[in-house]
């Protein structure tokens, strides 16, 4: 009888030791957010209050907060503290048009054109658009806002000879791809895109309303017509606290 009691006590002690303090704090913090239905962009309670509520030290609580900030569940803003993040938007890697269509259908989605000018193609643009150096190209820099919050900063280069007078048709309320189809009668069939991580410069951070040096997703690629001719070369920065990238995989039978 004594042996059984001792064994049960020992097993209980081992199980308790398996839960690290920061993991316990992490579970309590996530549960607090859920059970109290804290809305996005609301501030979490003070560290002092939470430490007293759960009987833990601030170092342990800060470790849990740091983890949730890292995975995009929380975010920190200078002068405001730690807040609940907006749910992340899923960026299915199927092409730029698929993302734009999804955002327009699901969110309050607006575009702000920061710059629109005609330029001569440099080496990078020429390589990606398959045009000679100095070839006419349109450069468009735009900021995409979702529910009033800046989330995507894009720079696009279009082959000027394939869409003459494009500046007469495109504005902040028009769909670029609708213009390609309805005005120029060109169908975009495919594209190539690469994804990496970078850090926001001071200017980029100000436009995206994030801290300088914050991690952001960096994508670049081109869209092509049926015959493989590149029509558009683009680069874009996505706020890492608002987006996650996924790819659907099918197994060959």
Domains of the chain: 2-84 (1.10.10.10), 89-246 (3.40.1410.10)
pTM: 0.67
Q: Are 197 and 217 in contact (CB under 8 A)?
A: yes
Classify each residue of 51-61 as buried b or exposed e, where b means 16 or more C-beta atoms within 10 Å of its C-beta: beeeebeeebb
What pLDDT digit, counting tens, does each position of 165-210 carry?
A: 999 999 988 888 889 889 998 888 888 888 898 999 999 999 999 8
pLDDT reading at 247 higher than 70: no
Residue 166: CB atoms within 10 Å: 20
């Amino acid at each position: 009888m004594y042996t059984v009691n001792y064994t049960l006590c020992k097993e209980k002690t081992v199980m308790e030791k398996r839960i690290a303090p920061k993991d316990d704090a992490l579970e309590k913090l996530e549960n607090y957010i859920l059970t109290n239905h804290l809305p996005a962009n609301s501030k979490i309670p003070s560290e002092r209050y939470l430490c007293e509520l759960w009987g833990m030290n601030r170092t342990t609580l800060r470790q849990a907060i740091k983890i949730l900030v890292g995975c995009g569940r929380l975010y920190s803003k200078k002068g405001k503290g730690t807040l609940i993040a907006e749910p992340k938007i899923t960026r299915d890697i199927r092409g730029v048009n698929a993302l734009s269509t999804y955002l327009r259908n699901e969110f309050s989605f607006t575009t702000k054109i920061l710059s629109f000018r005609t330029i001569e193609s440099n080496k990078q643009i020429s390589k990606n658009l398959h045009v000679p150096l100095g070839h006419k190209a349109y450069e468009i820099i735009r900021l995409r806002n979702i529910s009033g919050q800046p989330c995507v900063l894009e720079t696009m280069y279009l082959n000027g000879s394939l869409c003459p007078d494009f500046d007469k048709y495109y504005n902040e309320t028009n769909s670029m791809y609708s213009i390609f189809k309805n005005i120029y009668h060109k169908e975009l069939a495919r594209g190539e895109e690469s994804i990496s991580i970078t850090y926001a410069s001071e200017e980029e951070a100000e436009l995206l309303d994030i801290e300088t040096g914050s991690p952001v997703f960096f994508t670049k690629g081109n869209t092509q017509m049926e015959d493989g001719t590149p029509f558009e070369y683009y680069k874009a920065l996505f706020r890492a606290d608002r987006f996650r990238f996924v790819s659907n995989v099918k197994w060959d039978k």
